[in-house]
């Protein structure tokens, strides 16, 4: 059982910019974009379309959206599936290419942001209120999927520190931008370590697995606040006091 951190005197409700990554889910994108704008009327809304060309649709223009260039990460996994390949067949070169696409997208979003904190979301995310953040940390993550014990042991051997969370699932959550920049720089400077970790667990190629570990490797502190709910995993999500949702479907 995961025990979520209680409220703290270090909790803040910072101004946020938002990065929404999507592929083709326009109706869901409208839902999450409007939910962010309702609660953060002055935050920058950064739209990152994966692989496909940018389209400046009317509802996004009305919300004052800014656009990140298209990078290919979702398409990588679609091509993998279409060719009948498993994660185990991904080469180190392919891993570094895919992660480079992720980090280039994030770096571009950071260059468009003016806020100290950035909210990561996808098309099936939703903002339900002002987001709380413990100012002692650099990332508020989600631990929906467990890391294996050998993987955690390897991380501890690599960093000299225990991974502070037991699982991964960073799809919807807040990061401190200065820590994000430092972590990206660390990643580019230590690609051989990233490859070693990838070969311990090929799921490291997923951004929601990769980014919390990258923060940890770079010496940044991460935690799980418990304010992000996953609708498909928690059938009682409507009765919980979540501030952010993932796996939200419009037609509930």
Structure tokens given for 140:
């508020």
pLDDT averaged per 10 residues, the chain (length 252): 58 96 96 98 98 96 98 92 96 98 98 97 97 97 94 95 95 98 98 97 97 98 96 94 92 47
pLDDT > 70 fraction of the chain, expressed in percent and rounded = 96
Expressed as residue numbers, the domain containing 220 is 11-246
CB-count exposure of residue 75 (10 Å: 0-12, 13-18, 19+): middle
Instruction: Confirm whether 208 is domain-assigned.
Output: yes
Q: Domain tally for the chain?
A: 1
Instruction: Confirm whether 2 is domain-assigned.
Output: no
pLDDT tens per residue across span 11-49:
999 999 999 999 999 999 999 999 999 999 999 999 999
Instruction: Confirm whether 6 is domain-assigned.
Output: no
pLDDT tens per residue across span 141-151:
999 999 999 99
- What CATH code is carried by the domain that includes residue 22? 3.90.550
Instruction: Confirm whether 1 is domain-assigned.
Output: no
Alpha-carbon distance of 13 to 146, in angstroms, equals: 29
Instruction: Confirm whether 252 is domain-assigned.
Output: no
Structure tokens given for 205:
């190629």
Instruction: Confirm whether 128 is domain-assigned.
Output: yes
């Amino acid at each position: 059982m995961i025990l979520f951190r209680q409220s703290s005197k270090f909790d803040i409700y910072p101004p946020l910019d938002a990065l929404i990554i999507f592929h083709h889910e326009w109706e869901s994108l409208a839902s999450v974009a409007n939910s962010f704008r309702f609660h953060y009327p002055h935050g920058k809304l950064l739209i990152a379309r994966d692989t496909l060309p940018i389209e400046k649709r009317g509802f996004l223009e009305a919300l004052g959206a800014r656009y990140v260039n298209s990078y290919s990460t979702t398409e990588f996994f679609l091509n993998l599936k279409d060719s009948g390949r498993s994660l185990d067949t991904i080469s180190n070169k392919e891993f570094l290419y895919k992660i480079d696409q992720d980090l280039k997208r994030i770096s571009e979003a950071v260059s468009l942001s003016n806020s100290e904190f950035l909210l990561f979301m996808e098309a099936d995310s939703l903002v339900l209120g002002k987001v709380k953040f413990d100012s002692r940390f650099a990332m508020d993550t989600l631990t929906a999927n467990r890391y294996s014990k050998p993987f955690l042991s390897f991380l501890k051997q690599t960093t000299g520190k225990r991974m502070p969370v037991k699982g991964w699932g960073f799809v919807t959550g807040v990061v401190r931008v200065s820590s994000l920049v430092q972590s990206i720089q660390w990643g580019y400077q230590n690609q051989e370590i990233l490859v070693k970790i990838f070969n311990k667990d090929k799921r490291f190629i997923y951004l929601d697995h990769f980014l919390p570990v990258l923060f940890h490797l770079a010496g940044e502190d991460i935690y799980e606040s418990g304010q992000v709910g996953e609708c498909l995993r928690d059938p009682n999500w409507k009765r919980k006091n979540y501030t952010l949702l993932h796996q939200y479907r419009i037609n509930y």
